[in-house]
C-alpha cells in the first residue's frame, strides 16, 4: 500500500532531481544531543520544528532529519531503536507537514520503515545498504529515492580512495537490484569525512566527476567537515567559508544535491554561481 500511495510523489521528486540546473539544497536537522556540529541545539521538539521552518524559509529544497549521530570515528554513541524513535515521534510529522520533501537519515531499517510510513519521502543510509540487511527491502517496498553513502569503519591513508568508493557503490547497487530497488531511485554520496583522511576527502571532491560513470545523481555532504579544519584550523561553526567553497566546486563538478547546515548562504552562493556560469562566453 505504501508503494502505491507514494509512487506519483516520488516519481515527481526524482524527475525534479534530474531536471534542476543547479543543485538542490538539502538542509540538515539533527535531533540528537551529540552531532559534531549542532548536537543538542534541536533535541527539543519545538526547537526542531522551528529550525525546520527556518530551513524551509531560507530556500532549502529538501530536509534531512536524523536522530542518531553518525559522526565518523570520533565517539558517537549508538542509539537504541526505541530512543531513536522517541526522538523522531514528536517531530517528524509536523516537519513533513511543512511541505518540504523529508529525508530520513538512519542506519536502522525499522526506523526507516516507520518514518516512510509517516510520510518521509527519501531514505538516507550512511552505510549504503550494507549494514542493516533489511534496509534495501524497506527502500524497495516503499519505492522511495534512497541515498547510498560510502563509508568505512576507519580511514586507511594508503588506500586508493576512489577505487574503494567505486567498488563500494558497485556492491550497494547489486544489493539494491537484488532487493528490487529501481536504479533510477538511487542517489550516490561519496561520504566526505566518513572513513577517510582529510586528504582523501579533498581527493573525492576534486574527482567527483569520475562518479558520473554510474549515471546516477550525486549528493555532496561536506558542510563543516573536518577536512576544512585540516586546511584552515577552525571549529565546526566557523567553517562556513570552507563549506561554501567546497559546495560551489562540487556543484561545478556535477553534484546534484548539496547537504548543508547553512542553507541561506549556500542558496545564495549557488544562485551567484549559476548566474556566472550562464554568462560565461562559449568555450
**Distance between CA atoms of 192 and 48, rounded to whole angstroms?**
25
Measured between alpha carbons, how far is residue 191 from residues 149, 151, 162, 225, 253 in Å? 5, 6, 11, 11, 16
Q: What single-letter DSSP state applies at residue 75? A: -
Task: Give catalytic status of residue 137 as yes or no.
Answer: no
Task: Give catalytic status of residue 259 as yes or no.
Answer: yes
Q: Which residues pair with 64 in a beta bridge?
A: 28, 103
Closest CA to 60 of 220, 264, 268, 273: 264
Catalytic residue among 87, 225, 226, 239: 225
Looking at residue 78, what is its pLDDT?
81
**Distance between CA atoms of 274 and 55, rounded to whole angstroms?**
21
Does residue 192 contact residue 215 with C-beta atoms inside 8 Å? no
**Distance between CA atoms of 65 and 167, rounded to whole angstroms?**
28
Q: What is the pLDDT along the chain (283 residues), one digit of tens a residue?
A: 444 455 556 666 666 655 656 799 999 999 987 555 555 677 799 999 999 999 999 999 999 999 997 755 455 578 899 999 999 999 999 999 999 999 999 999 999 999 999 999 999 999 999 999 999 999 999 999 999 999 999 999 999 999 999 999 999 999 999 999 999 999 999 999 999 999 999 999 999 999 999 999 999 999 999 999 999 999 999 999 999 999 999 999 999 999 999 999 999 999 999 999 999 998 7
Strands annotated E in the chain: 24-30, 62-66, 102-105, 122-125, 146-149, 186-189, 219-220, 257-260
pTM of the model: 0.92
Task: Name residues whose C-beta falls within 8 Å of residue 80's C-beta, 6 or more positions apart in sequence.
Answer: none
Number of CB atoms found within 10 A of residue 33's CB: 14
Looking at residue 35, what is its pLDDT?
57
Looking at residue 4, what is its pLDDT?
45
Catalytic residue among 71, 108, 196, 259: 259
Looking at residue 33, what is its pLDDT?
78
Cell digits of residue 230: 585540516
Strands annotated E in 38-111: 62-66, 102-105
* End-to-end C-alpha distance for the chain, whole angstroms: 51
Degrees to nearest 5, angle at CA 226 with 225 and 229: 115
Query: Cell numbers 527502500 label which residue?
Result: 139
Q: In the chain, what are the domains? A: 105-277 (3.20.20.20)
Crossing angle of helices 2-19 and 135-142, in 10° steps, is: 90
Measured between alpha carbons, how far is residue 263 from residues 51, 62, 172 in Å? 11, 10, 29
Looking at residue 67, what is its pLDDT?
92
Looking at residue 9, what is its pLDDT?
61
Looking at residue 73, what is its pLDDT?
46
Amino acid at each position: 500500500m505504501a508503494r502505491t500511495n507514494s509512487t506519483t510523489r516520488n516519481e515527481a521528486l526524482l524527475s525534479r532531481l534530474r531536471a534542476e540546473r543547479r543543485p538542490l539544497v538539502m538542509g540538515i536537522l539533527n535531533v540528537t544531543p551529540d552531532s559534531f556540529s549542532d548536537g543538542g541545539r534541536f533535541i527539543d521538539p519545538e526547537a526542531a520544528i522551528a529550525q525546520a521552518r527556518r530551513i524551509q524559509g531560507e530556500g532549502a529544497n529538501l530536509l534531512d532529519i536524523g536522530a542518531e549521530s553518525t559522526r565518523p570515528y570520533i565517539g558517537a554513541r549508538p542509539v537504541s531503536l526505541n530512543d531513536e524513535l522517541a526522538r523522531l515521534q514528536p517531530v517528524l510529522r509536523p516537519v513533513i507537514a511543512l511541505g518540504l520533501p523529508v529525508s530520513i537519515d538512519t542506519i536502522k531499517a525499522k526506523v526507516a520503515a516507520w518514518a516512510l510510513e509517516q510520510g518521509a519521502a527519501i531514505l538516507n543510509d550512511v552505510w549504503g545498504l550494507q549494514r542493516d540487511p533489511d534496509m534495501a527491502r524497506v527502500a524497495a517496498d516503499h519505492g522511495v529515492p534512497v541515498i547510498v553513502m560510502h563509508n568505512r569503519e576507519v580511514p586507511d591513508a594508503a588506500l586508493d580512495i576512489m577505487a574503494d568508493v567505486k567498488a563500494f557503490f558497485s556492491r550497494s547497487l547489486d544489493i539494491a537490484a537484488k532487493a528490487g530497488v529501481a536504479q533510477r531511485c538511487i542517489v550516490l554520496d561519496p561520504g566526505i569525512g566518513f572513513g577517510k583522511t582529510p586528504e582523501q576527502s579533498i581527493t573525492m571532491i576534486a574527482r567527483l566527476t569520475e562518479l558520473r560513470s554510474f549515471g546516477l545523481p550525486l549528493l555532496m555532504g561536506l558542510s563543516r567537515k573536518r577536512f576544512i579544519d585540516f586546511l584552515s584550523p577552525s571549529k565546526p561553526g566557523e567553517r562556513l567559508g570552507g563549506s561554501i567553497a567546497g559546495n560551489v566546486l562540487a556543484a561545478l563538478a556535477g553534484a546534484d544535491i548539496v547537504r548543508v547546515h547553512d542553507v541561506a548562504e549556500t542558496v545564495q552562493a549557488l544562485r551567484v554561481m549559476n548566474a556566472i556560469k550562464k554568462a560565461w562566453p562559449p568555450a
